[in-house]
């Protein structure tokens, strides 16, 4: 109750509501893309470090390549996310 009487907090509370379903989907897409890019970058970093530290061991090199491949897949999904959101918007009809 006190939160609604203080003007700054009242504005912050009302600003959290999204104006439409399309805006909610767009916000969700932005969050998911951000997470995917962050995880893909983490996978690329781990894969690169594993590759450098492999020391010629074939099993370690293969594990590093697999990690790099997963990072590339993450970037690919992040790039395709807007397309998937457009498809979802057409299905939902907004």
Per-residue pLDDT averaged across 22-28, rounded? Answer: 79
pTM over 0.75: no
pLDDT of residue 53: 94
- Do the beta carbons of residue 72 and residue 31 sit within 8 Å? no
pLDDT of residue 77: 87
The torsion defined by the Cα of 59, 62, 67 and 71, in degrees rounded to 10, comes to 170
Express each pLDDT in 78-89 by its tens digit. 888 888 878 877
pLDDT of residue 45 exceeding 60, the answer is: yes
pLDDT band at 15 (very low <50, low <70, confident <90, very high): low
């Amino acid at each position: 109750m006190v939160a609604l009487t203080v003007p700054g907090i009242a504005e912050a509370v009302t600003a959290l509501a999204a104006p439409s379903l399309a805006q909610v989907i767009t916000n969700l897409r932005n969050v998911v893309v951000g997470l995917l890019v962050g995880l893909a970058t983490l996978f690329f970093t781990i894969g690169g470090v594993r590759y450098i530290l492999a020391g010629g061991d074939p099993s370690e090199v293969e594990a590093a390549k697999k990690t790099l491949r997963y990072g590339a897949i993450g970037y690919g999904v992040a790039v395709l996310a807007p397309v998937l959101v457009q498809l979802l918007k057409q299905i939902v009809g907004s």
